[in-house]
Amino acid sequence: MPSAEKGGPSASKGRPSADPGIEPAQPRVLGRTINPATISLWISAVVVGAIFGYGAWQRRWIADDGLIVLRTVRNLLAGNGPVFNKGERVEANTSTLWTYLIWFWSWVTDAQTEYVVLWIALVLSIAAVPLAMYGTGRLYRIGRGQGPINPGWMLLLPLGALVYIALPPARDFATSGLETSLCIFWAALLWCQLVAWSQRSTNPAVWGRKQVATTLLLGFTAGLSPLIRPELTLVGGLALLLVFCSPMSWKMRFAFAAVAAFVPVAYQIFRMGYYALLVPNTAVAKDASGSKFDQGLTYLGNMFSPYFLILPLIIAVIAAGLTWYLRRNALDTSADGHVDLVKHKDDAPVTWRVRAGSISRRLQSPAAVVTLIFVCGFLESFYWVRQGGDFMHARVLLVPLFLLMLPVMVIPVALPAGFGQRRSDTDGARNVRPQVIGWAGTVVMAGLWITTVVWAISTSHVAGMKNGTEIGRGGIVDERRYYIQNIGIEHPITAEDYLNYPRIRAMVASINKHENTGGVLLPSPNYDEWYFDPLPVPPPPGVDKQITVFYLNLGMTSMNASLDVRVIDQMGLAYPIAAHSDRLPDGRIGHDKDLDAEWVVAESGAYPRYPVLPPFVSADGVRQAQVALTCKPTEDLIASYSAPWTFARFKHNLRQAAGFTSYRIDRVPEYELERCKLPIPAPVYPN
C-alpha cells in the first residue's frame, strides 16, 4: 500500500493513527467518503429521542404538585403578580424560571395552562436527550477529523441515554408539570457548551468575537442554575468556577462574572424585597437544615431495587474507563518524535506562575469537564440522600442520574486502525499490540452496549412500586399510578380531571354554597363533606369576606377554585406560618411540617367557639394561637408578605430577608406562647 513517505496520500488531517504508513479505511457511498461516527450519532439521537417521546406521551399526565405552579401563572395572567393567593406575596414554586416559562407561553398562546405546561415539558424532555448525546459526541470531535479512539470505522452508540429513558419514572416526569424536564434540558445545554469550550484555544490572545461570545453565553447559562432549582446552584457554580480559573484576561473574567451574575443577582434582590426571603417559600417549607440519611438511603434503594439500576451504572463506569484507556493508548501509539525528559542547565527555571498557567490551561480540557460533571452528579446525589430524598418515587434522583450519564450518553465502538487494509511484511510486529488492544476494546464495548440494550428493554415496563394505590412504609409513592387509580382517569391532565379525587368535588360545592359568607373550609374524615367555620357577623375589623380552604393537596384544590378563594396547606408551601414551623423529626419526607387547624381559624378570623367550631378543633388552641400571632417577630413576618408593597416595605423586606428565612415558630400554640414569653390565656370553657 502506498505510504506518506512514498508520496501516497497522507493520513487524515489532525487525526492520530496507529501507523503513519497506514491510511484509515473510510467508508464510501456513491463515491463520497462518509463518517460512520457522525451518521451513527445522528441516527442514535433521532431513534432515542423518538422512543423517549413515544414513551413519555404514553405516560402523559399532570401531577397535583404540577398544578401548583399553574395557580401562580393564573395570578400572573390576571395581573395579581407572581403570587399564589391574591394579596399575599408568597413564592410557592421552587423553580422560578419554570414559572415564568409557563406564564410566557400561556400568554402567547392563550391556551389552557394545563396543556401549555404539558407540551413545554414534553418538548424540553425530548430535546434534552439528543442534545446531551450531541454534547458527548463532541468529545470525539465528530465532524472535525480528530476521533481519539480510532481514525477509521467508529460508531457512536447510545448507552447513558438508554439507561435514562428506560426508567419508567424518567418517562413519568417527562411531563407531570414539574420542572424535571427543564432541569435535564439545562444540564444537557450546559454540557454541550462546556464540551465545546474545552476544545477551543487556550490562548486568549487569539480569541475572536465568536469565542468571546460563546464563553459569555456559557456563563449566562450556568448563571441561571439557581433560578432553575436552588440545589442546581452547585452545578452552575462549579462550572462557572472552572471557566473563571481557565486562561483568559482579567477584563474577560470580569465580563464573564458580570454576565453570569446579572440575572440571578437581580432576581435575588427582587425576591428579598418582594417575598422577604432568601429562598423560595417552598425551600423554607421543605427545610434543608438537618439530615435524614436513613430515609435518604431508603429512597435510594426504592429507586435502585426495582430496576436493578446498579447493573447499567457498573456498565457505564466500565465503558468510561475503557474509553479513557483506548483513547490514551491511541494517542500514545500515534505520538511521533522524541520527548526529552532530561533537565539541562540551560532550561528556564519553573516558577509558580508557570505552574499556575499550566494548571489553568489543563482546566480548559475535555478531561476537566468530564471530571466536573461526574463530581456534580455525585454531589447532587449526596445532597438528596442527605435530605432524605422525596415522597415521589425516584423523582429527585433523576437529574443527578442524568448528570452522571452525560459523559457516557454515547460510547464509541471502533474497529482497530487499519481495518480492511493490507499491511506489508516490512511493517514488522510493532502494530500487533495496538491491533489486539483495538479488537479487544471493540468486543468489550459492543458487549457492554448489547447488555445495556437488553437491560433497557427488560426494565422499561417494570413497576417501580408493587402497589400504586397506597403510600409505602417509607412515605414514598408512585405518584402517577396513585392518582390514576384514585381518580379513574388514565391521563389526568386538567384540574377538572382531579374533581374525581376524594373531597375535591365536595370542596367546589362548599365554596359555591358559602362564598358570600366567608370563612374556613376544613376537610372532614368523610370524603363527601367539608367542615365550614364561618366568619362572625359582622366580620372582625380588617377581615374580608373570603373563603379559606385548608388542605394538603394544594394543586387540585387551588386550580378548582377561583382566584378570590384563598388556598393554603398545613405543610406551608403556600402558607408562610406553616412553612416557618419546626420540622417534625419523624415526619413523612416532603410532608414533615404539619400545622394544626387552630392556627388557620385564629389567623383567618373565623368563629372560634362551639358549636360553630368543628368538633376536632380545640377552642382553647384557637385562643392560644390568636395570642401567639401577636408575637412581634411573627407579626413582622406576616406583614412582610401581606402588607401593601411600597418602597418602604421593599427596603424593610430587603433588610429582614435573612432573619425571616431562619425564623421558626413552634407548631403547638401553647409552646409558642412560652417561646415568645407571652401569657397563656384563660380557658374558653373553664371547668
3 state SS of 588: coil
Smallest CA-to-CA distance from 515 within 507, 504, 527 is with 507
Confirm whether 497 is domain-assigned.
Answer: no
Q: What is the pLDDT of residue 352?
A: 55
Highest mean pLDDT among 6-15, 352-361, 460-469: 460-469
Determine which of 465-479, 600-614, 622-636 has the lowest per-residue pLDDT on average.
465-479
Same domain, 408 and 537: no
Comparing CA positions, the residue from 489, 566, 564, 555 lying closest to residue 117 is 555
Per-residue pLDDT of 137-189, as tens digits, reads 998 875 443 445 555 578 999 999 999 999 999 999 999 999 999 999 999 99
Query: Do residue 136 and residue 61 come from a single domain?
Result: yes
Strands 154-158 and 410-414: antiparallel
Does 213 lie in the same domain as 103? yes
Assigned C-alpha cell, 284: 423554607
Boundary (domain end) residue, out of 439, 459, 479: 459
Q: Which residue has the higher pLDDT, 218 or 2?
A: 218
User: pLDDT value at position 323?
Assistant: 87
Of 667, 178, 73, residue with least CA distance to 391? 178
Percent of the chain with pLDDT over 90: 72
Of 144, 248, 242, 246, the C-alpha closest to 206 is 248
The total domain count for the chain is: 2
Average pLDDT score over residue span 384-390: 94
The Cα 274–Cα 111 span in angstroms is 29
Does residue 12 belong to any structural domain of this protein?
Answer: no
pLDDT at 302: 93
Q: Are residues 521 and 615 in the same domain?
A: yes
Looking at per-residue confidence, does 18 or 572 come out higher? 572
Task: Quote the CA–CA distance of 42 and 132 in Å, as a whole number.
Answer: 12
Residue 291 lies inside a defined structural domain of this protein: yes
Q: Is residue 464 part of a domain?
A: no
Tens-place pLDDT, residues 634-659: 999 999 999 999 999 999 999 999 99
Contact partners, residue 322, CB within 8 Å, separation at least 6:
441, 444, 445, 448
Confidence class of residue 258 from pLDDT cuts 50, 70 and 90?
Answer: very high
Name the β-bridge partners of 88. Answer: 85
Position 383 scores a pLDDT of 96
583 in the same domain as 453: no
In this predicted model, what pLDDT tens digit does every residue of 311-326 receive, in sequence order?
Answer: 999 999 999 999 888 7
Gap between the Cα atoms of 319 and 163, Å rounded: 13
- Can you give the three-state secondary structure of 144-205, one letter per residue? CCCCCCCCCCEEEEECHHHHHHHCHHHHHCCCECCCHHHHHHHHHHHHHHHHHHHCCCCCHH
Domain co-membership, 441 together with 572: no
pLDDT of 603 > 90? The answer is yes
Phi, psi of 10 (to 5 degrees): -80, 165
- Answer yes or no: is 37 within a domain: no
Write down the mean pLDDT value for the chain: 88
DSSP element (H, E) containing 566: strand 566-568
Question: H or E segment at 534?
Answer: strand 530-534
Amino acid 580: pLDDT: 96
Residue 444 pLDDT > 60, yes or no? Answer: yes
Q: Which of 13-22, 117-126, 222-231, 311-320 has the lowest mean pLDDT?
A: 13-22
Question: Could you give the residue ranges of the DSSP H alpha helices within 548-631?
Answer: 554-559, 576-579, 597-604, 619-628
Q: Residue 74: is its pLDDT beyond 60?
A: yes
How far apart CA 53 and CA 56 sit, in angstroms, is 5
Interval 227-239 mean pLDDT: 97
Task: Output the pLDDT for position 636.
Answer: 97
DSSP 428-440: TTTTHHHHHHHHH
Q: Which domain holds residue 621?
A: 502-675
Q: Residue 206: its pLDDT value, please?
A: 83
Do 537 and 616 share a domain, yes or no? yes
Report how far residue 320's alpha carbon sits from residue 194's, in angstroms, rounded to the nearest whole number. Answer: 18
pLDDT at position 4, please?
38
In which order are the strands placed within the sheet that holds 519-523?
A: 530-534, 519-523, 547-550, 566-568
pLDDT in tens, 552-598: 999 999 999 999 999 999 999 999 999 999 988 888 888 889 999 99
In this structure, the chain runs to a length of 687
Q: Read off the pLDDT of residues 460-511 as tens digits, 9 standing for 90 and up.
A: 989 888 777 777 677 899 999 999 999 999 999 999 999 999 999 999 999 9
pLDDT at 144: 41
331 occurs within a structural domain: yes
Shared domain check, 75 and 200:
yes
Q: Does 642 reside within a domain?
A: yes
Compare 354 and 150 and report the one with higher pLDDT.
354
For the entire predicted model, the pTM comes to 0.91
Looking at the chain, the whole-number percentage of residues with pLDDT higher than 70 is 85
Whether 444 and 553 map to the same domain: the answer is no
- 20 falls within a domain: no
Note whether 509 and 405 are same-domain residues: no
Q: Higher-confidence residue: 372 or 417?
A: 372
Domain co-membership, 213 together with 112: yes
pLDDT band at 23 (very low <50, low <70, confident <90, very high): very low
| Residues 513 and 653 reside in one and the same domain | yes
